[in-house]
Amino acid sequence: MDLNDTPEQAAYREHVRGWLEQNKQHAPDGHGRGDEEAAVEAHRSWQRRLAEAGFVGVTWPAEHGGQGRGPLEQVVVNQEIARAGVPGILDTIGVGMLGPTLIAHGSDEQKQRYLGPMLHADEVWCQLFSEPAAGSDLAGIQARATRETGGGWRLSGQKVWTTNAQFAAFGLLLARTDPDVPKHRGLTMFVVPMDAEGVTIRPLRQISGEPEFNEVFFDDVLLEPGSEVGAVDGGWGVALTTLMFERLTIGAGSEGLGYSGDRFAKAIAADEVAAADPEVRQRLGALSTELLALRFTGYRLLTALSRGQIPGPEAGLGKVTAVNAAIEAGDLIADVVGPEALAGGEWSYLISFLPGLKSAGGTEEILRSTVGERVLGLPPEPRLDKGIPFSELRAKERQEVGA
Ligand SMILES: Cc1cc2nc3c(=O)[nH]c(=O)nc-3n(C[C@H](O)[C@H](O)[C@H](O)COP(=O)(O)OP(=O)(O)OC[C@H]3O[C@@H](n4cnc5c(N)ncnc54)[C@H](O)[C@@H]3O)c2cc1C
């Protein structure tokens, strides 16, 4: 791939850079610990401003309020936002993953109603997939939706690790609608208003100090007819679309997750003793090599995107490498800087938040198994629940362990 901008991309880059230069004084200043509500509102106005300038939903079709541009223009916007040192949008999950899912599977009414306010952050969205017993095994979902007379639905169950639920207007929720078929088949995707009666949101505070995610309970929540996204009992296919966009959203932004070897070298150079320590230098060298390799893997991903190809399961390895590099970098910085690295300054997000990404968006073990099976053609993992109706799984499990 030619890594230089084409004349059109260079002109677009100049346009984005010029706008950011003129508007960056309106950007919120980072993670805003303390007054969380004010921080969310500041971030919301920043996304609105970016949307009005045409820098949100860059790849979305124009008929849905997007710019109809290619993935490389989205990368230009991401790069220029990073270069300007300002935050990206508030609703990465909505715009990056859930909006594209609605575009692919939603009804015309859903697209008409939800996509515009999502782009402008007037309504933020959350992803209601994971449950206490359904994370890696996502198809093991137990939240239950049953048909009401009149075509609506009654929803009960629990979700967990729901990022942004505390200020989301809507969630995209995967629920079981038919327990009497094998587990991947009886699932349906729904749009759920987060202010509906029977929805309870409880924050989970992370070690980084921020309650970014939540547990969410649904007690007999009534959903209107037409709340389902895609076919009834066809929710697994809809979920796969979201997961593909999740991989792209994390993968495409994963060039060191915003960190580079130079930045670590600068921090270490400030400490004469550490800078002269051969072990520190060796760790920094190994880490910088990984980050560089990641950058080139990222270019390969971009090449595929620019040719209109959808990156395959191998893209998951970018996430595994990026997260492990971030964890090693956090350990190195903590060793050099000492405990004050965790005191809320430049490095605390790296050390206390990024390790959690080992689980988010597919765990390392699951991604490695996927690459083993689907890229390297290794024999598949044993799947004891294949073909068995979901409602019979617990009984079957008990038989297996001889209970
Ligand atoms: C920061 C963060 C934000 C998140 N935001 C959201 C969100 O907004 N919405 C949402 O729905 N979810 C969200 N999640 C949840 C995330 O999707 C899950 O954490 C993830 O799917 C893993 O599930 P789990 O945590 O239940 O781990 P488990 O699936 O219980 O896994 C536990 C461990 O067992 C290993 N393991 C499990 N099965 C296998 C296997 N078959 N082979 C080998 N090893 C295995 C895993 O790799 C892992 O190490 C978020 C998570 C994090 C950390």
Q: What is the CATH number of the domain that holds 232?
A: 2.40.110.10
Is there a catalytic annotation at residue 246? yes
Answer for the pair 364, 358: CB distance below 8 angstroms, yes or no: yes
- Residue 215 has phi, psi (to 5 degrees) of -105, 140
Q: Label the pairing between strands 187-193 and 199-204.
A: unpaired
Protein residues with CB under 6 Å of any ligand 1 atom: 126-127, 129-130, 135-136, 161-163, 213, 356, 359-360, 363, 365-366, 369
Residue 218's closest CA among 130, 134, 144? 144
Q: What is the CATH number of the domain that holds 82?
A: 1.10.540.10
Residue 1 domain-assigned (yes or no): no
Q: Can you give the pLDDT at residue 348?
A: 83
Q: How far apart are CA 231 and CA 100, in angstroms?
A: 17
Residue 313 domain-assigned (yes or no): yes
Q: How far apart are CA 368 and CA 122, in angstroms?
A: 38
Taking only the tens place, the pLDDT of each residue in 207-257 is 877 788 999 999 999 999 999 999 999 999 999 999 988 877 765 554 556
- Residue 30 has phi, psi (to 5 degrees) of 95, -145
The token duo for 198 is 């029977």
Residue 399 domain-assigned (yes or no): no
Answer for the pair 89, 48: CB distance below 8 angstroms, yes or no: no
Vertex 116 angle, CA 191 and 145, to 5°: 0
Residue 102 domain-assigned (yes or no): no
- Residue 106 has phi, psi (to 5 degrees) of -75, 165
What residue owns the CA closest to ligand 1's atom 24?
A: 135
> Residue 313: left (phi > 0), alpha (psi -120 to 50), or beta?
alpha
Q: Domain containing 170: what range?
A: 125-239
What residue owns the CA closest to ligand 1's atom 12?
A: 130
Residue 287 domain-assigned (yes or no): yes
Residue 2 domain-assigned (yes or no): no
Taking only the tens place, the pLDDT of each residue in 348-381 is 888 888 888 888 888 999 989 988 998 899 999 8
CB atoms under 10 Å from CB of 137, counted, come to: 12
Q: Are residues 142 and 221 in the same domain?
A: yes
What residue owns the CA closest to ligand 1's atom 26?
A: 135
Number of domains in the chain: 3
Residue 107 domain-assigned (yes or no): no
Taking only the tens place, the pLDDT of each residue in 89-113 is 999 999 999 999 999 999 999 999 9
Residue 332 domain-assigned (yes or no): yes
Distance 367 CA to ligand 1 centre (A): 11
Poorest-pLDDT segment among 44-48, 66-70, 162-166, 325-329: 325-329
Q: What sign does the dihedral 70-324-368-401 (CA atoms) show?
A: negative
Which spans in 94-234 are helix H?
A: 99-105, 108-119
Is 397's pLDDT higher than 70?
no
